[in-house]
Amino acid sequence: MKSEIRPIDESLSEFLRDESRSTGSADTISFPTSEEEIRETVKSEYSQGHRITVQGGRTGLAAAAVPNGGHVLNLSRMNKILGMRQENGVFYVTVEPGTVLSELKKALSSKKIPTAAFDAQSMEAYRAFCASPLQQFPPDPTESSATIGGMTACNASGARSYHYGATRNWVEGLRLVLSDGDVLLLKRGQTFADGKKLTLTSVGGRTITVDLPSHTMPKTKNASGYFTADNMDAVDLIIGSDGTLGVLSAIELRLCPEPEIMWGLTCFFGSEDSAARFVDLTRRAIGNLASLEYFDCGALTLLRRQKEQTTAFARLEKIPEDADCAVYTEIHCQNEDEAYRSLFTVGDIMRQCGADESKTWVARTAQDRDRLYFFRHATPESVNMTIDKRKKETPGLTKLGSDMSVPDEALVRVLHMYNEDLQAAGLEYVKFGHIGNNHLHVNILPRNMEDYKAGKAIFKKWAEEITKMGGAVSAEHGVGKLKAAFLEVMYGHEGIAAMARIKRSFDPAGLFGTGNLFNPADFE
C-alpha cells in the first residue's frame, strides 16, 4: 500500500526547512509508516520522474533534508524499535529510520522498550538485556531529536565520538529501498568489495555493480562523500550517502555497556595556545577520555553576554573572569580509582600548560553533568539566537558554520589560520567543538551581507587549505547541499565523477536527494 501523497500547502511549509535554516521547495509530501509504504511510494514517484528528498528529524546542518522540488518522503512516523538480538554477549537493536535518538537513549537507559512487535528471538534477547548492566548507543550529536536514519545518512557523531567513533562504527546492518521499490539488505561482515569493485544483490535478485572511487579517504574524522576503501564492507557505502542512493527503511545498531563512571570536567585557560598544548598532552597521557571539546574566546564572550542578558541562560555557570578559553572533557571508566587518577592527571597537565586546576568545573553526578551539557549546548544555541536577531534586520543572512577536521599535527596550524583569516577580514566569530579530533566548528556571525560574502570566501579557501593538510571538509554534519561545492575541492573532478557513477548505478535518473553531494548540473 502506498502512503497518502499530500500537496505541500502553507500548513506543511515547515517540511521545506531544516536546522540549517535554509528553505527549499516541493510539490508533495508523504509520511509512510512501513517499509511497504516506502517501497510503493518510491516506485510510484520515481517512475513519474519526481525527485525524492528523504527527511528524518530535520536537525541536519547541511540542508540534506531540504527538498529540491518533487516529493518529500518524511520518515518521522517510522519510529518503532523492531527487534533485538544478542550474539557473543553483544546486544544489537533494530530500529526504523524515524526513531528519535533521545527516545532510543531513554528506552535503553530505562530498559523499557515496547515489545509488542518483537518475535521470540527478540523477546529472549530483551530479557537478557534487562538482566544485563546498562547498555548504550554512544553517538551523541548535539541535537538529540535527530533520527537514527538521519544520523546514518550523514554519519553523525558528536562529542563522544573522540572515544567511541561516529555512527558508522555502530551500524551493523541496514535495509535500503531502491529506486524500483526493491530492497537491498546489508549486514556488516557479509558483503565486501573485491579491491574497488563491489557487487550487490537485492532482495528481489537484481545485481548492482559499483566501481568505487580510487581516491583515499582522509585519516581524520570524516563525513564527506561516499566512503571508499579497498575491500570495504558494503554497509559503509550506504552510511554517509546523504539520501542519494535510496531510502533507509531499517537500521541495526550495535550497543555497548555504559561505563560505570562518567565524569565531566571543564578546564579554563588563559590562552588558546595553552589550551591546544593541553589537548595535545592529554590525548597522549589519558586513555579513558570520551570527549575533548573546545570553547574559544569568542564563545566564552558570547556565553557571558547571554548569561547577563537572556533569562533562559541566567543559570549558566559563572565563567572565571580571567578565562580566555575552555576545554570540556569526559572521563569514562569502570571504577573510581581510575577516574581519580585521570582527573588528577588532567590537573597536572593543566599546570604544565600554565593553567590553574582550581579554575575547573568537575561534574561527578548526573545532575552536575547536565549543567555542563547545558553550558556546552548554549554555545550553538546562542549563535543561532544572535543570527535570528540579525536576520530581522537583514533577511538574507544565515549562520556560516564550518565542520572541517585535520590530522593531530595540524591542530595548532589550523587554529592560527582560522584566527588570522577571520581577524584580517574583521569578522565576528566563535570556534567550538571537537578539538580532540582537531575538528572545530567555526561559526561566523555576519553583521551584514558583506560579512556573509567574506565569510563564504574564507570557507572556500579553508576547504583548499584543509585538504592540503590531509583533512576533511565535512567531519560530521555530512555534505548535504551546503557543502557540495567543497567536495570537489577535496576529491577533485575525477573523484566527483567516480562518485556520480556510483550514484547512477543506484539512481539512474538522479532523483534521490537531488543537490546533496553533487551540484545537480554537475551530475547531469
Q: What is the binding site for other proteins (CB under 8 A)?
A: 265, 267, 314-315, 317-318, 340, 343-344, 346-347, 350, 357-368, 371-372
Contact 82, 95 (CB under 8 A): yes
φ/ψ (deg, to 5) at 269: -135, 155
Residue with Cβ nearer other proteins (27 or 357) = 357
All three cell numbers of 401: 558554520
CB atoms within 10 A of CB 98: 24
CA 410 remoteness from chain centre: 22
Comparing C-alpha atoms, which of 369, 399, 402, 266 is closest to residue 323?
266
Residue 312 CB, nearest approach to other proteins (Å): 14
Task: Tell me the C-alpha to C-alpha distance, in Å, between residue 268 and each of 238, 295, 370.
Answer: 40, 9, 19
Q: What is the distance in angstroms between the CA of the first residue and the CA of the last residue of the chain?
A: 32
Handedness of CA 305, 309, 311, 315 (dihedral sign): positive
Residue 364 CB, nearest approach to other proteins (Å): 7
Listed in sequence order, the residues at least 6 apart from 313 whose beta carbon sits closer than 8 Å to its beta carbon are 303, 306, 307, 378, 382
All three cell numbers of 441: 566548528
Residue with Cβ nearer other proteins (88 or 367) = 367
Residue with Cβ nearer other proteins (49 or 133) = 133
Residue with Cβ nearer other proteins (216 or 344) = 344
CB atoms within 10 A of CB 468: 10
Residue with Cβ nearer other proteins (280 or 357) = 357
Residue with Cβ nearer other proteins (11 or 358) = 358
Residue with Cβ nearer other proteins (36 or 258) = 258
Residue with Cβ nearer other proteins (267 or 302) = 267
The DSSP call for residue 275 is H
Amino acid at 469: M
Unique residue bearing C-alpha cell 538521519: 150
Task: Tell me the C-alpha to C-alpha distance, in Å, between residue 113 and each of 33, 137, 253.
Answer: 19, 14, 15
Contact 317, 374 (CB under 8 A): no
The DSSP call for residue 313 is G
Residue with Cβ nearer other proteins (329 or 405) = 329
Residue 435 backbone class (left: φ over 0; alpha: ψ -120 to 50; beta: rest) = alpha
Residue with Cβ nearer other proteins (13 or 365) = 365
CA 64 remoteness from chain centre: 12
Residue with Cβ nearer other proteins (111 or 206) = 111
Residue with Cβ nearer other proteins (31 or 373) = 373
Residue with Cβ nearer other proteins (211 or 258) = 258
- Alpha-helical segments (H) within 48-199: 101-110, 120-131, 148-154, 161-164
Residue 161 CB, nearest approach to other proteins (Å): 25
6: β partners: 29
Residue 331 CB, nearest approach to other proteins (Å): 11
Euclidean distance between CA atoms 236 and 191, whole angstroms: 10
Residue 199 CB, nearest approach to other proteins (Å): 51
Amino acid at 361: W
All three cell numbers of 176: 535500503
Residue 362 CB, nearest approach to other proteins (Å): 5
φ/ψ (deg, to 5) at 292: -140, 110
C-alpha angle 491-497-501 in degrees, rounded to nearest 5: 125
Contact 174, 167 (CB under 8 A): no
CA atoms within 13 A on the CB side of 70: 27
Comparing C-alpha atoms, which of 345, 344, 320, 324 is closest to residue 276?
324
